[in-house]
Amino acid sequence: MSTLVVRVWRGGQGAGAGRFETYDVPRQPAQTVLDVVTHIQRRIDPTLAYRFACRVGMCGSCAMTVNGKARWTCRTHVQAVAGDGVLEIAPLAHFPVIRDLVTDMRAFFDKWAQAKGEFVPTASRRDPFAGVEPASAARRAVDAAIECIGCGICHSSCDVVAWNPAYLGPAALNRAWTLVNDVRDGARAARLAAVAGDAGCHACHTHQSCTERCPKKLAPTASIAALKRTTAFAALAGEIE
Amino acid sequence: MRTTSARSSDWRARAHAGWWAFAVHRCSGLALAVFLPLHFWVLGQALTGPPALDAILRWAEQPWVKASEVGLVLLLAVHLSGGLRLLLIEFVTWRAAWQPRLIAAAGGVALLCALLFALNLA
Amino acid sequence: MMGAPRREALLWLAQRASAVVLALCVVVHLATMIVAVRGGLSAAEILARTRGSVVWAAFYLVFVAAIAIHAPIGVRAILAESSGGHRRRLDIAMAAFALLLLAAGLRAVYAVTAG
């Protein structure tokens, strides 16, 4: 049985200055990176702080930076990323760090709200059900982007998030795009204005890091490109100020 | 809640085609933006008659200038082909499978242009 | 004063529209350059092609106008990210660069077509 050399970022509240600490973890077959982190916290250093919940790739809570790339640790096999027996685990980039591998996700969700990423109803319970044609172009556009679970990997992978602190980010913009295409929604004009500001969709430079890393295989790049087009024509038509 | 500052990504997060395509597009655009006022100034020298323009063109016969011209053609061609790829994504369609191929094609076409120019120089 | 959303959206559109125009102009320009440099290039050769030509004048005027729109908007995006600049200063820099390109470009077009 061989051993993994695991470098884990430690630091933040009560944990001292940021630095990497090295642990030796026994290698197991079909081991995931989350298994490795769990082993360290339970068997070696109980002070290690990290987040997880479902551990089966549904909730997105366990997202961390593994060997420089943002990933769901519960769905990342050690075999796939640590060929040479070395693993580097750090908190998600571009989020303030609370402690060790735990980041402050508030700005991520605040930007979701700033992009008007919530549904605004136009009907009441007394109205008949809304008829949404599944094969329509609008609904297909929604379906292609709706599976986002808000894990923050795209936000962490996007360089524009680091270069432009106010940038709404791929997840918030992707969600806004699904709502722009939702025929039941009543806030189109406000939402288009919200995503078109100084730090909105036009700040995206099509790096495609978000699309490259999204564990749900979504393409925020495509959603943002569509928002650029939609807001431009809306501006021409006088829909946004 | 006290937090420490956010960590940034490093080159490992950027090692994919889309990021390199962006870097090439931005660098070529910036280089062209810097070059253009010079280019316009040189051409404007024709106002003073062929001798001034000829003097500049003779200076431009030097090998390093010729090499730079090939470089400029490459920058222009790569900015054009990359730009067409972006226009495709923004106005026409997005197919995930096409993206790496489009980037490769854009690079290929640009290299071809530069090669044609270089061959014609000789 | 235009709001930021409208301004950003229209600047983006102007840059993409000028990009389409430039795509056509650049293809013509690259082809011309590839053909024209055969066996070297002299002022006489350039001017023989362009002097007194309404077609070339019109072509280069459109080319210069498109560049004067496209390049400054692109440079503004780079400045915004590298300097964390205030909108006002960025817009002024962008306008100044546009004027520079327009002035120098128009002079160049005049120089090679009218002389």
Annotate A114-132 with DSSP letters as a single string. HTT-S------TTSPPP--
> pLDDT higher for C52 or B114?
B114
C78 touches chain B (CB under 8 A): yes
Q: Out of A164-178, B88-102, C74-88, which region has the weakest mean confidence (pLDDT)?
A: C74-88
- Are C71 and B29 within 8 A, CB to CB? yes
- Are C104 and B45 within 8 A, CB to CB? no
Do A90 and A111 lie in a common domain? no
pLDDT digits (tens, 9 = 90+) for A58-73: 999 999 999 999 999 9
Do A119 and A230 lie in a common domain? yes
Please tell me whether residue A19 adopts helix, strand or coil conformation: strand
Q: Which amino acid is at B39?
A: H
Smallest Cβ–Cβ distance between B29 and the set C26, C43, C74 belongs to C74
Please tell me whether residue A160 adopts helix, strand or coil conformation: helix
**Confidence grade of residue A24 (pLDDT, cut at 50, 70, 90):** very high
pLDDT confidence of residue A198: 83
- Rounded Cα gap, residues B81 and A210, in angstroms: 23
**Residue of chain B minimizing CA distance to C41:** B57
Residue C105 within any structural domain of the chain: yes
Smallest Cβ–Cβ distance between B120 and the set C37, C46, C97 belongs to C37
Residue C101 within any structural domain of the chain: yes
- Are A228 and B90 within 8 A, CB to CB? yes
pLDDT of residue B41 exceeding 60, the answer is yes
pLDDT confidence of residue C21: 97
Residue A216 within any structural domain of the chain: yes
A234 touches chain C (CB under 8 A): yes
Do A141 and A152 lie in a common domain? yes
Do A16 and A76 lie in a common domain? yes
- Are A197 and C8 within 8 A, CB to CB? yes
CATH number at residue C73: 1.20.1300
Question: Are A118 and A25 within 8 A, CB to CB?
Answer: no
Alpha helices in A40-167 (DSSP H): 78-81, 106-114, 137-145, 153-157, 159-163
> pLDDT higher for C99 or B42?
C99
Q: Out of A227-241, B37-51, C13-27, which region has the weakest mean confidence (pLDDT)?
A: B37-51
pLDDT confidence of residue B42: 84
Smallest Cβ–Cβ distance between C42 and the set B44, B45, B57 belongs to B57
Q: How many domains does chain A have?
A: 2
- Side-chain half-sphere of A16: how many Cα atoms within 13 Å? 7
Best A209, A217, A224, A230 member to test B by mutation, with max B CBs in 10 Å, is A209
Best B4, B12, B102 member to test A by mutation, with max A CBs in 10 Å, is B4
Residue A241 within any structural domain of the chain: no
Tell me how close the Cα of A157 comes to any Cα of chain B, in angstroms. Answer: 7
pLDDT confidence of residue A188: 95
B91 touches chain C (CB under 8 A): yes
pLDDT confidence of residue C115: 63
The mean pLDDT value of chain B amounts to: 89
Do A204 and A114 lie in a common domain? yes
pLDDT of residue A1 exceeding 80, the answer is no
Domain boundary, last residue among A103, A119, A138: A103
Type and span of the H or E element at A70? strand A69-72
Q: Out of A13-22, A217-226, C94-103, which region has the weakest mean confidence (pLDDT)?
A: A13-22
pLDDT confidence of residue B16: 95
pLDDT digits (tens, 9 = 90+) for A89-144: 999 999 999 999 999 999 999 999 999 999 999 999 999 999 999 999 999 999 99
Type and span of the H or E element at B52? helix B50-59
The mean pLDDT value of chain C amounts to: 89
CATH number at residue A24: 3.10.20.30
pLDDT confidence of residue B32: 97
- Whether the pTM exceeds 0.90: the reply is yes
- Are C5 and A228 within 8 A, CB to CB? no
In this prediction, residues C52-64 reach a mean pLDDT of: 92
Residue C44 within any structural domain of the chain: yes
Residues 105 through 164 of chain A touching chain B, CB cutoff 8 Å: 156-157, 159, 162
Smallest Cβ–Cβ distance between C4 and the set A164, A197, A234 belongs to A197
pLDDT confidence of residue C85: 67
Q: Which residues contact A200 (CB under 8 A, 6 or more apart)?
A: A115, A167, A168, A173, A194, A227, A231, C5, C8
**Residue of chain C minimizing CA distance to A196:** C5
Do A67 and A132 lie in a common domain? no
pLDDT confidence of residue C25: 96
Do A96 and A113 lie in a common domain? no
Residue C97 within any structural domain of the chain: yes
Contacting residues of B for C70, CB less than 8 Å apart: none
Question: Are B13 and A70 within 8 A, CB to CB?
Answer: yes
Do A14 and A96 lie in a common domain? yes
- Rounded Cα gap, residues A169 and B39, in angstroms: 38
Contacting residues of C for B84, CB less than 8 Å apart: 23
Contacting residues of B for C93, CB less than 8 Å apart: none
pLDDT of residue C74 exceeding 90, the answer is yes
Do A158 and A190 lie in a common domain? yes
Smallest Cβ–Cβ distance between A157 and the set B13, B22, B89 belongs to B13
Q: What is the predicted ipTM?
A: 0.90
Q: Which amino acid is at A134?
A: P
- Rounded Cα gap, residues A55 and A77, in angstroms: 13
Full domain range(s) for residue A123: 106-236
- Are B16 and A212 within 8 A, CB to CB? yes
Do A126 and A183 lie in a common domain? yes
Contacting residues of B for C111, CB less than 8 Å apart: 43-47
pLDDT of residue B47 exceeding 70, the answer is no
CATH number at residue A159: 1.10.1060.10
Q: For chain C, which chains pass the contact test of at least 3 CB pairs under 8 Å?
A: A, B
pLDDT digits (tens, 9 = 90+) for A144-181: 999 999 999 999 999 999 999 999 999 999 999 999 99
Residue C51 within any structural domain of the chain: yes
C-alpha distances in angstroms, B104 versus A120, A187, B101, C40?
Answer: 42, 40, 5, 32
Full domain range(s) for residue C28: 11-113
Residue C82 within any structural domain of the chain: yes
pLDDT digits (tens, 9 = 90+) for A182-214: 999 999 999 999 999 889 999 999 999 999 999
Structure tokens at A60: 């997105």
pLDDT confidence of residue C90: 87
Please give the domain boundaries of chain B with CATH numbers for all domains: 19-121 (1.20.1300.10)
Q: How many domains does chain C have?
A: 1
Please tell me whether residue A181 adopts helix, strand or coil conformation: coil
Do A198 and A117 lie in a common domain? yes
Tell me how close the Cα of B18 comes to any Cα of chain A, in angstroms. Answer: 5
Do A92 and A110 lie in a common domain? no
pLDDT digits (tens, 9 = 90+) for A32-48: 999 999 999 999 999 99
**Residue of chain A minimizing CA distance to B90:** A225
Structure tokens at A24: 């030796």
**Confidence grade of residue C2 (pLDDT, cut at 50, 70, 90):** confident
Which string of b and e fits A167-202 if b means at least 16 CB within 10 Å? bbbbbbbbbbbbbbbbeebebbeebbbbbbbbbbbb
pLDDT confidence of residue B46: 67
Residue C3 within any structural domain of the chain: no
